[in-house]
């Protein structure tokens, strides 16, 4: 009852975060739309990223994602060069925002670590190594060290743990990179639960990925169409089921995989059958859903930006992620916000659809971030 009253309060009486002011010239709908967008950018300080400053102050984007390496230019030092520099950058980001930002990295451990030892951060074990040890206490301690590193850096979202099952050890994007704990859903569930517990110790938001399962694939969604119709197994849902049953309500990240057994038309990120039908209705997930990078070729090569955004929102995605690290477009947040606004203005999306995502995002932020003025 208390939760229902709280949601009604935010929806009808206080559509903006406590203490947050609407930027000049921006209405409440634009504010809500902005919160549904997370972008990547180039720069180790905000002086390097004037377009991002506009995205934060004028469009009120809800989050940013940080990388240590810029893929288009094949150069290091994109956002992260040292612990001290990263602390300054995250402080600048938060000081610029009217509503506290989600500041995210992929700090899974092992090879998928943006905060590397080479930059002065502590090293970390891969999920595969921890899965082989198969001791949740060891995993918890490893994840707690990562949580402390993230907390000190001012990062509040970890795109981890990966709960994909290692059904294909030769998988070029999961198995070969040692990103999966195990092929056994019970092992994955236990290790993921220990990881989430450790992240929460330091008020770091967790992210289960990549729904509904990327572990059996033979190709990489970064590079193109990825069909798992003949390899996916229903046991890949078990880690999600287990964690959600135990109260998990942080982020879930979608996969851009195509699975004709679940939806014969759309990849998971764009599939209402998969996101709303399975994740929300069947598994009972109530937290925010974040897309994998919308600029990956599995989506971008097959759908124009407007169509991809429309389908993702209709499917049930709450946060659209534009990592800006496949193709770099400093205007992507402005384009995405304008597309969402036009979809609402034209009646293709109802304002209530935006409200649902906004409420989930704000509930998550209020749970983990300092929302004081």
- What residues act catalytically? 222, 292
| Nearest alpha-carbon partner for 33 in 23, 18, 46 | 23
* Residue for token pair 């764009």: 270
Angstrom distance (rounded) from CA 373 to CA 363: 17
Angle value at C-alpha 25, between 20 and 28, nearest 5 degrees: 50
Angstrom distance (rounded) from CA 296 to CA 317: 16
Angle value at C-alpha 329, between 325 and 331, nearest 5 degrees: 135
Angstrom distance (rounded) from CA 70 to CA 327: 10
Question: How many other C-beta atoms are found inside a 10 Å radius of the C-beta of residue 277?
Answer: 16
- Burial, 143: exposed, middle or buried (Cβ in 10 Å; 0-12, 13-18, 19+)? buried
Q: Strands, E, within 270-314: which ranges? A: 289-290
Angstrom CA distances, 211 to 28, 93, 232, 278, stand at: 31, 29, 12, 10
């Amino acid at each position: 009852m208390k939760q229902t009253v709280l949601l009604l309060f935010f929806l009808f009486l206080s559509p903006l975060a406590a203490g947050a002011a609407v930027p000049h010239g921006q209405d409440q709908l634009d504010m809500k739309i902005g919160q549904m967008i997370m972008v990547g950018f180039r720069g180790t300080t905000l002086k390097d990223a004037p377009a991002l400053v506009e995205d934060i102050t004028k469009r009120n984007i809800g989050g940013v994602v940080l990388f240590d390496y810029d893929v288009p230019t094949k150069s290091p030092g994109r956002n992260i060069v040292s612990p001290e520099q990263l602390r300054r950058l995250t402080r600048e980001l938060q000081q610029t925002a009217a509503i506290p930002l989600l500041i995210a990295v992929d700090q899974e451990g092992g090879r998928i670590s943006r905060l590397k030892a080479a930059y002065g951060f502590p090293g970390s074990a891969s999920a595969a190594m921890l899965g082989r040890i198969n001791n949740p206490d060891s995993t918890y301690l490893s994840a707690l060290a990562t949580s402390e590193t993230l907390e000190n850096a001012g990062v509040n979202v970890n795109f981890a743990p990966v709960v994909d099952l290692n059904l294909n050890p030769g998988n070029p994007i999961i198995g070969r990179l040692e990103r999966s704990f195990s092929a056994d859903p019970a092992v994955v569930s236990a290790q993921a639960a220990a990881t989430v517990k450790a992240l929460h110790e330091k008020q770091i938001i967790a992210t289960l990925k990549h729904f509904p399962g990327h572990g059996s694939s033979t190709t990489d969604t970064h590079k193109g169409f990825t069909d798992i119709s003949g390899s996916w197994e229903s046991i890949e849902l078990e880690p999600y089921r287990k964690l959600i049953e135990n109260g998990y309500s942080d982020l879930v990240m979608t996969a851009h995989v195509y699975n004709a057994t679940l939806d014969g038309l759309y990849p998971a990120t764009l599939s209402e059958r998969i996101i709303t039908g399975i994740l929300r209705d069947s598994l009972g997930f109530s937290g925010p859903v974040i897309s994998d990078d919308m600029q990956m070729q599995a989506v971008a090569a097959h759908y124009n930006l407007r169509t991809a955004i429309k389908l993702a929102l209709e499917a049930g995605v709450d946060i659209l992620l534009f990592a800006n690290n496949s193709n770099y477009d400093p205007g992507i947040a402005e384009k995405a916000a304008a597309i969402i606004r036009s979809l609402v203005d034209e009646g293709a999306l109802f304002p209530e659809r935006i409200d649902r995502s906004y409420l989930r995002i704000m509930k998550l932020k209020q749970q983990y971030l300092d929302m004081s003025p």
